[in-house]
Structure 1
């Protein structure tokens, strides 16, 4: 039974407290805390800016359109969270890693299908075009010990800046995606193409917000990684292509200095022969260090 005994009478001065009191019987203490804090900040915001009815109506209409823009291959609310910096903030809170661990960053809106298992050395590029690229690397514990059998999930945009789910009629399914099992030393290798910078989908409500604030929608060139190993916490991260446009103005705030890597053009005959690559090709070496699970 509710512990409310006095009639609820709304007032501007006590608005947040009055609404917070309505949560007093919420059985989940975490939910009660989150809702109470949300109402407190939301009401303080409305009072600080003297929010008008027309502005509230516009905000509700914007959020309604954001939901309506979501599909099986597009998550507009993730885009909204990303461009407001909320995704990166929650990621930073959730992943306060020890010194030496690989930095995490946002998952992004395009990890919406399972990556197909592939063998080490396979190409994830199933369509013609793009600049041939070899990615080698190793997964280690934060103390430097090797992690045999670690898993690496990778996905990326193509040379035009599109993910497979954006152009399903133009590229094979699961193009530029792969799930790899590292060798006995935690090493991995795969062939791909050099990714391009690209705009996040900006033909919906989030694009309208960016246009209204005169912000561009672009992300620098990158490859997504999720790395995991037994007894270690997984990390969701990127590697960014050094020299790419937009490294200093990523629209989702995802760039961290330790994640920017060189992709030099190389003439390595041994690697070219081993992985059936034409010379020259791009080559990046990635080291991912995982923190121990708690």
Structure 2
């Protein structure tokens, strides 16, 4: 038996060695490094779990289904990366270790380039259902200096847990972009974020169900912040007290990104506007890292 096992191991290693050798002539050194490492780890995984042909076929079918359900409105492969923690691991690998910088988190599948531009203090909700929420803060550098003219893209789900792109038609609500003011200040109106499930009517949802995991994300607001001379920041702010903070389906929560939502009765808001119904407010500074730092 020992001889048979050794022979099988030699056969398996011969396959791996042959595939590794096939990338030996790859001109791009980074591609060669990545592909050979991928082969080594992927083959080691198959050997470790003793992957059956039936399981291999199921995996191919799973990936095929993910491809078929992906379109311009839905990216199932990003969802898969998110629920496996690969997205957050990639963020952690690439995030600069600079004290005081706002922490990064996952991008998510619902960003839309070219969102409507709003003035400082404008409203991104534009019909999205939910309690009005005034969001404000300062965009600044890690050295404390304000950053004027930074582009701040913002997007979120409505109180029913849906992004505008999940509705039919060309509706644009709960998203927008604005520029920070002369002192780096930013402010806008939106709706109070609500918890929601990631899309779970496809293969990723089936995987979560089979694993006994839930699809919920805690309430959050997405930010993408860009400014010349600074690294792009992709982050969220999460609503303090949300029941899903400890079990985010995509592992994106960081303590430094959890923000209290202040609840106010009808009355005068910080921008002087008169609010006829109850409203909320969240304050959070966005701290960018200069290019080359970290």
Contact 2:149 2:182 in 1 (8 A): yes
Partner of 1:224: 222
Distance (Å, rounded) in 2 between the aligned partners of 1:45 and 1:239? 36
Instruction: Give the aligned partner of residue 18 of structure 1.
Output: 18
Distance in 2 between residues matched to 1:161 and 1:60, nearest whole Å: 31
Deviation at 1:168, TM superposition (A): 2.9
Encode CA deviations 1:64-99: one digit per residue, 9 max, x unaligned: 111111011000000000000000000111113301
Q: Tell me the CA shift for residue 278 of structure 1.
A: 3.0
Cα displacement (A) at 1:150: 1.1
Match of 1:47 in 2: 47
Aligned residue in 1 for 2:103: 103
- Mapped contact 1:272–1:279 kept (Cα < 8 A): no
1:205 counterpart residue number: 203
List aligned pairs for 1:103-252, cutoff 5 A. Answer: 103-127=103-127, 129-169=129-169, 173-252=171-250
Contact 1:121 1:275 in 2 (8 A): no
Distance 1:259 1:194 in 2: 16
The answer (yes or no) to whether the contact 1:241–1:261 under 8 Å persists in 2 is yes
In the TM superposition, residue 144 of structure 1 has moved relative to its aligned partner by 0.8
Distance across 2 between alignment mates of 1:50 and 1:190: 54
Report the Cα offset of residue 113 of structure 1: 4.2
* Secondary structure in structure 1 of the residue aligned to 2:63: helix
After TM superposition, where is structure 1 displaced by more than 3 Å over at least 4 residues in a row?
A: 267-270
Distance change >3 Å, CA 291–CA 128, structure 1 → 2:
closer
Match of 1:6 in 2: none
Task: Tell me the SS of whatever aligns to 1:12.
Answer: helix
Shift of 1:267: 4.9
Let me know the Cα RMSD of the aligned residues.
Answer: 1.6
Per the alignment, do residues 268 and 148 of structure 1 end up closer, same or farther by CA in structure 2, a change over 3 Å counting?
A: farther
Map Cα deviations across residues 188-226 of structure 1 (whole Å, 9 max, x no partner).
110011111000000000000000001000000000001
**C-alpha distance in 2 between matches for 1:50 and 1:131:** 52
CA distance in 1, matches of 2:109, 2:128: 24
Measured in 1, the distance between the counterparts of 2:265 and 2:166 equals: 33
Partner of 1:253: 251
Unaligned regions of 5+ residues in structure 2, if any? 1-9
C-alpha distance in structure 2 between counterparts of 1:205 and 1:45, whole Å: 21
TM norm structure 2: 0.92
Q: Say if 2:132 and 2:192, in contact at 8 Å, map to a contact too.
A: yes
Match of 2:7 in 1: none
8 A Cα contact 1:73 1:112, kept in partner: no
The answer for the alignment partner of 2:35 in structure 1 is: 35
- Which residue, out of 275, 278, 281, partners 2:276? 278
Number of residue pairs the alignment of both structures matches: 283
SS in 2 for 1:189: strand
Q: Which residue of 1 aligns with 2:261?
A: 263
